[in-house]
Structure 1
């Protein structure tokens, strides 16, 4: 379905790589600065959530786990191959990631008691650095596809 949507809007996969990389880079920069990204929740969304009776339906981590960055990565990975085997592997990987995330999220109360705020900030910044490197790879691969002369020089 994603390929048809990109075709309908005349968006090349390389343009999507660059835009997905930029989005990931914005999130990574916010993580490196140790603040909650505005790509996760804007001030208006936060105020709207405070006026609702229950905001527990959508935890703060959902935009990071299944937000624009994750969706971009899945779409880009889907273009790496074709066929039933490739898509079954993608489903298997997603299920594995969900199980790992469930384990990590289940451990959060224990981690919160045993890791200091400084430790959490250090880990957040380290993950921000890894996400920034991944974003650069997305952008570089997209630019090579958009401008083949760049790939010829390497």
Structure 2
């Protein structure tokens, strides 16, 4: 049970990467007041938590309905997580996430001066909590795959409950990072973010290989 908890915590923490979301949250919420940033952080965290908890509870059922075996999904999910780890080590993931955040944040040009668009309205900023913050920056394909994989490894209701608690705890850490995003970004700096991302990427790559190995072993045993 202790190994499962440690593995689940490390996998979810590295996949979601709350610290790495700080500069992206600042970019997405640029121009918003402190109150609006708080509202965006709350909404994004609740939506992301709801998505991951739903996949933890129903992901295995969905796989069975589609006729996908758990070993096959372990291999596919492990390969996906390995690709994410590869991007983290070589800094491609942060660039892609930043591009997605900037694309979603940029308002569509209207009127006679397309190069000087008006500031985003409060309602537009609230929509950013859904995309790109909740999906795909927090509850992205990697986090969803990891959640389903970990849920499939839960031996009983207690283990599944612990997994859901870990999901909620890590999403809560995302919320705290969002609230303190300015200070976190200044403290880490460009070098700190780069080092942390690479270290987490190496750890995630090892976990991904373990997922693939477990899936191959399960298929070979059939």
Structure 1 partner of 2:67:
10
2 CA distance for matches of 1:42 and 1:116? 19
Counterpart-to-counterpart distance in 1, 2:68 and 2:97: 24
Aligned to 2:84: 27
* Number of positions where the alignment pairs a residue of Structure 1 with one of Structure 2: 148
Give 5+ residue unaligned stretches, structure 2: 1-57, 109-119
TM-score by length of 1: 0.77
| Structure with the largest fraction of helix | 2
Distance 1:41 1:147 in 2: 41
Distance verdict in 2 for CA 1:114–1:49, change over 3 Å: closer
Indicate the SS of the match to 2:93.
coil
Structure 1 gap segments, 5+ residues each: 150-154
Normalization by structure 2: what TM-score?
Answer: 0.56
Contact 1:27 1:37 in 2 (8 A): no
1:144 equivalent in structure 2: 217
Cα distance change, pair 78–102 in 1 and its aligned pair in 2 (3 A): same
Task: Indicate the residue corresponding to 1:69 in structure 2.
Answer: 142
SS in 2 for 1:11: coil
Distance 2:211 2:186 in 1: 36
Q: 1:81 to 1:35 in 2, by over 3 A?
A: closer
The structure showing larger relative contact order (alpha-carbon pairs under 8 Å, at least 6 residues apart) is 1
SS at match of 2:91: coil
Q: RMSD between aligned alpha carbons?
A: 2.9
CA contact (8 A) 1:28 1:129 kept: yes
CA contact (8 A) 2:80 2:142 kept: yes
